[in-house]
Amino acid sequence: MITFEETGLSPEVLKAINELGYVNPTPIQERTIPELKDGTNDVVALAQTGTGKTAAFGLPIIESVECKNKKVQVLVLCPTRELALQITKDLVAYSKYIQGLYVTAVYGGADIGKQIRELKKGSQIVVGTPGRVNDLCKRGVLQLGGLRYLVLDEADEMLNMGFKDELDSIISNTPDDRQSLLFSATMPKEIENMSNRYLTNPVEIKVGKQNAGAVTVDHIYYMVHARDRYLALKRIADINPDIFGIVFCRTRHETKEVAEKLIGDGYNADALHGDLSQAQRDQVMHRFRSRHLQILVATDVAARGIDVNDLSHVINYNLPDDIEAYTHRSGRTGRAGKTGTSVAIIHTKENSKIREIERISGIKFKREMIPSGDEICTRQLFHLVDRVEKVDINHEQIEGFVPQIIEKLSDFDREELIKRFVSVEFNRFIAYYEGAKDLNVYKKDLDKDKSSGRRGNGKYSRLYINVGKAHGMTAQRLMGIVNENTDRNKVSFGKIEILRNFSFFEVDESGYKPVISALKGVNFEGEKLHVEVATAKPPKRKQRGKFDNKRDGRRSR
């Protein structure tokens, strides 16, 4: 293992990263830094989240910036404002001792006027989201004629978020002799096409197995009925009193709902999603980074760019629709050689998804049982005892109150005093979990589901639903929504057709009425669901301008 001194970085950069505690480069840094310092080839680098990609491209690039030239020489494109801010923060830290180098972040959801003023002052490095960068280019504010480096970070996610047109527009304004760097966690066909379109004979750097989970992360899953998912989440939090982690939800609506429930139930939690203003996002992230929050509930998109160390848990409240995204989530814990736990809460129809993640990523899940009320109470009791044992006593402040306290409690013996002090915090757990039901699904339950006519009589009713691909609907999400809202978990599906603006799906004809009733008015990505028995022609839909605006807003982040 080499040190950073052996990579040939300048004394100014080495001084800055030494202060940050950097000693040995990660594998992606060890291979990328020499390539960028000594070569002029375009680069495609494949590495997982949390492997140090920002330093891999940032350290050699800031050394090559001509500080006397105030024109934009480096453009870093990334999918979200959170990631743009994190990259900017890192680049500023790396260039601490390089005089005259300026980095500016530009992203949607913030005052564009302020960003324009920053750019006009002169910045050699610009970090931004495609929507805002494209806007500034069209306004003529962001001039890319002198660009030397183009970095596409989290390229797979930028494509997933629909930024292809913006990328095409931005890159058309850059010089042909630029050096282009593409960083991605996965290499699907779309990324390969992107590489062919934007890069010239790139050097490919692969670190680790693609889609592989980190070896320092334990992967476990709990199986419950869909209706018990939130109760299971609470028990996971309660059995881990010192939890510091992220709960991943599928939609903004679900994120807000879960966070509100946790806060209402007394947990130290908050939400991060696309509906928050930048000031609100900054406030939530400040509280989380400073550990004033134990649980952050977030969507995949909102969590992009979150760089918080020492997460104990990542909890998949729902498994992601894109199986590869699981490794992105789980990679946020177990970093820097430390261990972490990735938890999946699944319902009875998601066993196959667990197997698929195992096949693609090479990891192995362990099934664990949702803890009982007695187990949780025992854990919380001894956690409280440990806190009392290790608490720092401020003798100077408390000494004057001791005589009065002793006098007031003089009627109680030692054992009674211990019981009373412990009960102050512990009674609520005893009361809540008294008679708590077993949330686990057992093999006999699965067998009962299968033998209870899960496939009905083999006849299906074809139903219409007013959302499709344009709304983010997939077959998996449709089945999940139906199962969770019917509270039956025994819906038998036939053929499912996901079209652009609406969809059709078949359910056992004996149970279609409860499905229609249960989904009526349910919110899905800002659309109120409407389900009815399919006719020859789908019902006439209203203009979708409102939804389109939402999509545009989402893309500008």
pLDDT digits (tens, 9 = 90+) for 161-214: 778 889 999 999 999 999 999 988 766 677 788 888 889 889 998 875 544 445
pLDDT single digits (tens) 464-520: 999 988 888 888 788 878 877 775 455 777 888 888 889 999 888 777 888 898 888
pLDDT at 454: 44
Percent of the chain at pLDDT exceeding 70? 88
* Token couple for 108: 């949607």
Residue 545: what pLDDT? 45
Helix (H) or strand (E) holding 444: helix 443-451
Q: What is the pLDDT of residue 50?
A: 64
Would the pTM of this model clear 0.75, i.e. be above it?
A: no
**CA 70 to centroid of chain Cα atoms:** 35
- When pLDDT is cut at 50, 70 and 90, the band that residue 445 belongs to is low
pLDDT (tens digit, 9 = 90+) per residue, 260-317?
999 999 999 999 887 787 788 888 988 998 899 999 999 877 776 676 778 899 999 9
Mean pLDDT of 18-37: 88
What local confidence, expressed as pLDDT, does residue 449 receive?
53
* 551, pLDDT greater than 80: no
What are the DSSP E strand ranges found in 52-171? 74-77, 103-106, 125-128, 149-152
Residue predicted with more confidence, 158 or 128: 128
What lies within 8 Å, CB to CB, of 510 at 6+ separation is 456, 457
| Strand partners for 45 | 183, 205
Contact call for residues 345 and 480 (beta carbons, < 8 A): no
Which tens digits make up the pLDDT trace of 118-150?
A: 999 999 999 999 999 999 999 999 999 999 999
Angle between helices 164-171 and 130-138 in degrees, nearest 10: 40
Q: Mean pLDDT across the chain, nearest whole number?
A: 83
What value does the mean pLDDT take over residues 28-50?
85
Arithmetic mean of pLDDT, 152-156: 86
Domains of the chain: 4-206 (3.40.50.300), 217-370 (3.40.50.300), 374-433 (no CATH), 452-555 (3.30.70.330)
